[in-house]
Every structure is written in structure tokens, then in C-alpha cells.
Structure 1
Amino acid sequence: MQHITRPLPSITQDNEDFWRSTREHAARLQRCNACEKFWYYPGPVCHNCGARNWTWTLLSGVGTIYSYSVLERAKGNPYEEDVPITIVLVRLAEGPVVMSNLFDYEPGELAIDAEVMIDYEDVNDEVTLIVFRPARR
């Protein structure tokens, strides 16, 4: 575990199963039993159809970069010690788009539609974050 100075997510009744799954390094998202769509961020109803009948479902762990930004400077904010930071929007194979960080990539690997895989950053005993790394073949 590492010392993180940036803000961490709050664990609530609606998202505690998600954060438990990340601590187990087996990320799950809610999948609607009515329309079969996955959604992110966790909540009490399906983001697609509004149904309240869903199942926590294991993710495949793969996705593609939808968008990205590299933060080179962060003077005077919680991310100052972490720069440069690569922030990515990843469209998971299951459909939802997730924002996180990309680590361990070579300059040519950072591109729209590049394949990535889920990894985990153990922050403390309660929070493990989903992060991404290139899906090298």
C-alpha cells in the first residue's frame, strides 16, 4: 500500500459492494436483470431503464481508451506529488465508461482505442482503486 494524498471515494450503502469487489481484486458492476445493461457509478437503480432488480457481475477486466489527458503540473493541489498523471476514460468491454489512471505505458501506447486491462491500486485497508495498464499481447 502506498500513501495517497489525493481525495479518496466515500463508501456508501449504494457502492459498498463495488468497493468490496475491488479490494478482492475482482471488480464487479451492477447488471440490470431487466435490460441486461451494466452501469457505473453504482447506484440503487439501472441507469438505462430505471429497474431496481440487478446483480453484481464480475467484469472481464478489459476495455479501450475512449479519451485521455496527461496532467503535467499540479502545483498547490492534492495531486502535486503524483505528476505526471495520465487520466483515462475507458470504455469497458461490458459497455460503461470509467475514469481512472493509466500506468506503465510506453509513449506509443497512449492512443484512443488502445486496449487496456484493469489493475488495482491498494490505497489502504478500505479502498482499492481500479486503474488501467496497457493490454500487451
Structure 2
Amino acid sequence: MTSTPSVLFVCVHNAGRSQMAAGFLTHLAGDTVEVRSAGSAPADTVNPAAVAAMAELGIDIAGQRPKILTSDAVETSDVVITMGCGDTCPFFPGVSYRDWVLDDPAGQGIDAVRPIRDRIKILVEALIAELVPVAR
């Protein structure tokens, strides 16, 4: 792993789960981690319920846009976290793969998205504890 680890969050539409995870990691880890997100079949826009749920916690993901998953993005990441993209994520030796099983917020209202958001926050906090050394 490089001195600044890179994390790629991947879900199908890159509009909900992966965007919230990237928002949390950027907000909580700052520049100690390089953060990316992508989707195997990106939507046109980020899920408005995900944007609203994150805004409730003071994290603005409204300016983000769904991006297509590329082999280069996977190959140049230290950690790839999939969230329901199945077998569409290419495999490269040396990359650490994780699968976070999370409900899909697509088509859901904010009341359904909040618990997904809260679970993602817990997972991101654990990831930060693993990837970012504590200053001594």
C-alpha cells in the first residue's frame, strides 16, 4: 500500500451507496486517503435521497456525478469496496477487495436511506481505523 492509501467504492449506479461512502471517507479522513467512486452502470445523477440524508449530517455530495467503473481505477486502488456490483468488478493481484452488503437506496425515500447511511458511516469509520495510522 502506498503512503496515502487509495480507496475505490463501487456500486451499480454510483448514485447512492458508493457516493455516501465516498462522502463519509472524504469528510472523516481528509487528505489521508485518496477517495474514488464509480459504478458498473452509472446513473445520470446522484440519488436525491442520498444527497438529503448526507446533508442532514453536514456532508454535501450534491456536486458529485456518477462515474463509469474502469479497469484503471481498480488497478490503481489499494482497496476496492464493492456494494452490490457483483462480478462486474475486474480483479487485479495486489488490490484488496471487500464487499459491503448494504440495501440499495435506489427509489427509496429518505426514511429508508438513513439506516443505510448510518451503516455506511460505521463501515467507513472502521476502514479509516484500519488504513490511517494513529499519530503517536
User: Normalization by structure 1: what TM-score?
Assistant: 0.23
More helix by proportion, 1 or 2?
2
Mark the structure with the bigger radius of gyration.
1
More strand by proportion, 1 or 2?
1
RCO comparison, higher one (Cα < 8 Å, 6+): 2
User: Normalization by structure 2: what TM-score?
Assistant: 0.23
